[in-house]
Structure 1
Amino acid sequence: GMVSKVDYLYPSMGNRTQQLNTQQLAKYVMFKQLGNIFDENYKLLEETDQYELFNVFDERIDSNYIELVGGITGDYWVYLRSNYESIRESAAISNEFLTYVGILVTILCVIIMIFLSNHYTKPILKLAQIAKKMENLDFDVRYKENRHDEIGVLGHSMNSLSDKLEQTISELKTANNELELDLQRRSEQEQMRQEFLANVSHELKTPIALIQGYAEGLQDNVNDDPESREFYCEVIVDEADKMNKMVKKLLSLNQLEFGNGQVHLEHFDLQQVVQSVLSSSEILFRQKEVTLSYDGDHPVYVWADEYMTEEVVMNYVSNALNHIDGEKIIEVKIVSRDGKARVSVFNTGKPIPEEDIDKIWSKFYKVDKARTREYGGNGIGLSIVKAIMEAHNQAYGVKNYDNGVEFWFELDEKTEN
């Protein structure tokens, strides 16, 4: 068609170089359209109703171009030409630029991933390890990082949870231990009760049998003479007296062992208590021809239960009288040392066998059963000593010598007011 308007033609470099009239432009366009059809250097790339796109080889400069020829709305025509190599170079530059950008973006992504891993992933894995150890009841591991974000809050919450779980489990273990000890105590008490009944039955069996036998003899008039009847009566009274003493001792021991016997601490002269016991036993010393050695000549004040202390001294002296032998010497001492007053009672005789040293404090235990029965012992005296001294929380014991045995106990010494 005809070109009705003159406009400017711009080459590919972008500068306006030539002004064409409408006839020149129409001739140029028609020439290009016809020339393109027959020129081998022109290759049609795309064709529409509005434009045609060619790949043109310019032999003069040995270069390819991209040309676009077509009409625009109205009476306008357009002709565009651009060097193909410049497009390639631009594309290559763009590709190279995009490659560098891609590498930089990849490096940046790796850095970001490492940062996120160190900042979030590793702490989360560490928290998972802490949770795993808590699952295995290991509460020693702690979250120690000082963070103020959500992970820090979670870590400190796990520390608090670990502390509470450890405390709760500790309380449960304590309760279980107490329950176990309580069950053990009940079992021991039941065993003690059974042993107590068995021992009491055994100890009472002999005197009851004797009393019954002699009483039946009196009833049946086995011996009519007064002397025999008096002998029978003496045996009955003696055995009844032994049973009475044993029952009293058992009641006293039972109160001490089960905490019913209260210790009344008071300030008293230990020397007077020992002297009183020895004076009351003087007739027994004479009967057995015992030589007594006691050098108590000055007051020794202690804090203790005076009645219980007297009972301990009495049991030690009685035990010495019952087991004395050889030279028949009983030596009683009171020694003050390091705030303690020690009372010791030594008697000549046979040492206690080493295998029996720890057993003599048990109820009804007798080293020499025949000898014990001979003097009427029942194996309770030393058990009472043990219970009294443990109620005072004081030391006591026994020591063997070549020519005898020494029993001792200690009390807290106090200066006289």
Structure 2
Amino acid sequence: MQGVYSRVINICENVDWDKMDSEQKDTIYDKLDQLSSNTNMSIYLVQIRVYQGSGDIAELAYVYPSDSERLQQVTKNQLDKYVKSIYFGQKLDDNCKMITQTANYSMYNVYDTRVDSNFLELTGKMPDNYWIYLRSNYQSIQESASVSNQFMLYVGMIVMIAGVFIMYFVSNQYTKPILRLAAHAKNMQKLDFSTRYKDNRDDEIGVLGNSMNALSDRLEKTISELKTANNELQLDLQRRSEQEQMRQEFLANVSHELKTPIALIQGYAEGLQENINDDAESREFYCEVIVDEADKMNKMVKKLLSLNQLEFGNDQVHFEHFDLRSVIQSIVNSSDILFRQKEVTLSYHPDEEPIMVWADEYMIEEVVSNYVSNALNHVKYENKIEIKTIRKGDHVCTSVFNTGDPIPEEDMDKIWSKFYKVDKARTREYGGNGIGLSIVKAVMDAHNQKFGVKNYDNGVEFWFELDVKSVD
């Protein structure tokens, strides 16, 4: 309101109302009308003359507005109160409270009972007894402000709710990828590299996701290499442990097996040296025992070396295509004298057609030879040995059967172990050392083929299988 007062002073400055023509007044009125309209405020310019004694208004002339319609908006009584208050200090009514007062103007808060409304009013002096009277209904302003405040409240709530949703969706654009990255990191912590960050983004989150994918790939590859190296190391340690165990077992068994023949050789050699028996027959017997024990030792050492090479993988399997019949026939022919010495009846009826197999011929000859030798050493009762070859699809099964005592069930799996003997006394009698069947097992394992033993009521049958190829 003070600003409106100042602008009215500026408009009416140096204006002589008595000397102005109608056109000049209209110009002033237009400016005041515009100011009143723009500020929603009633503006009055009044020339007042008062009685000095009583303070009553002697003459009141409205300069602006000058039309009778507008004059109805202002009451002479209200102006009279202000004049008396200003000139004579008369107390205003309770419904009229002064807000501020200066040398040039006074401003009031007025409750107008006539219209039941609150107004802000300002009276200000001008030269030549002219007064400015400004009147504004601030209750409407309050109502407008209240409506405006409610409107702003609603708008603010709508904006806040909209802002919450916008913030939610905008933040999701960043929080969801970050949560996915966090889950990816937790999986990596658990050494689970199956998850991937798949969002295609060009910002910092996308760069971080791609870096974590690269890190995951690198960790997976590194851990895989470490596991492979660790597994190879464990296998190597296991092989070393097995080799050391085999070496110790080999030395223990060799020492045990050589102890008896060495003791016999030493005893009979000392007997010859000391001439315990002077007759030629005794010396010849001593020499035969020494030669026989030395021969057994020689055979055992050769078999041990052969078995050692097979078990340690030094003796490679050389697969070749050969006729199994010729191998069996060769062993039968070379063992013929042994069959006759033990009065063994041999039954072997080879096929008319060649039995072509894929295997290492030298090793298979060792297997057949050990089976035949084992049968000769254990044949009893009817003294029969039977050798058979039976085709089974892509395989041929070769078996060697001898009459005699069955192998005890508890020894069926043990007979393939080195130096294991079911009947130690009988084994010593025929010069066995428990290595032959170990060689069979090593050879068949090297060929990755099946082998085994089966008990019958009247004897035992050993068998093995080989891949066969028919001759066109």
Q: What's the TM-score, normalizing by structure 1? A: 0.90
What residue number does 2:178 align with?
A: 124
CA RMSD across the alignment: 3.1
- For the pair 1:34 / 2:89, whether they are aligned, the reply is no
What residue number does 2:141 align with?
A: 87
Secondary structure of residue in 1 paired with 2:347: strand
Q: What stretches of structure 1 of length at least 5 have no aligned partner?
A: none
Distance 1:36 1:290, change over 3 A: farther
1:201-212 → structure 2 map (5 Å cutoff)? 201-212=255-266
Equivalent-residue separation in structure 2 for 1:389 and 1:256 (angstroms): 10
Equivalent-residue separation in structure 1 for 2:244 and 2:150 (angstroms): 95
Secondary structure of residue in 2 paired with 1:167: helix
What residue number does 1:356 align with?
A: 411
Equivalent-residue separation in structure 2 for 1:339 and 1:306 (angstroms): 18
What residue number does 2:158 align with?
A: 104
What residue number does 2:241 align with?
A: 187
CA shift for structure 1 position 322 = 0.9
Partner AA of 1:301 in structure 2 = M
What residue number does 2:371 align with?
A: 316
What residue number does 2:192 align with?
A: 138
CA shift for structure 1 position 199 = 0.6
Secondary structure of residue in 1 paired with 2:414: coil
Aligned residues: 416
What residue number does 1:389 align with?
A: 444
Equivalent-residue separation in structure 2 for 1:400 and 1:49 (angstroms): 140
Equivalent-residue separation in structure 1 for 2:126 and 2:414 (angstroms): 127
What residue number does 2:69 align with?
A: none
Distance 1:103 1:35, change over 3 A: farther
Q: 1:216 aligns with which of 248, 266, 270?
A: 270
Q: 1:69 aligns with which of 101, 108, 123?
A: 123
What residue number does 2:325 align with?
A: 271
Q: 2:228 aligns with which of 174, 177, 188?
A: 174
Bigger radius of gyration? 2
8 Å CA contact 2:394–2:469 kept in 1: the answer is yes
What residue number does 1:255 align with?
A: 309
Secondary structure of residue in 2 paired with 1:263: coil
8 Å CA contact 1:316–1:345 kept in 2: the answer is yes
What residue number does 2:72 align with?
A: none
CA shift for structure 1 position 17 = 9.6
CA shift for structure 1 position 141 = 3.9
Partner AA of 2:180 in structure 1 = K
Q: Percent identity?
A: 69
Partner AA of 2:276 in structure 1 = V
Secondary structure of residue in 2 paired with 1:296: coil
Equivalent-residue separation in structure 2 for 1:72 and 1:265 (angstroms): 133
Q: What's the TM-score, normalizing by structure 2? A: 0.80
Distance 1:108 1:253, change over 3 A: same
CA shift for structure 1 position 230 = 0.7
Please give the per-residue CA displacement for 1:155-200, whole angstroms capped at 9, x wherever unaligned: 4443443333223222212211111111111011111111111111
Please give the per-residue CA displacement for 1:130-172, whole angstroms capped at 9, x wherever unaligned: 3123212233444455656544453444344333322322221
8 Å CA contact 1:12–1:83 kept in 2: the answer is no
8 Å CA contact 1:294–1:331 kept in 2: the answer is yes
What residue number does 1:416 align with?
A: 471
Please give the per-residue CA displacement for 1:206-241, whole angstroms capped at 9, x wherever unaligned: 001000100111111111111111110100000011
CA shift for structure 1 position 110 = 1.7
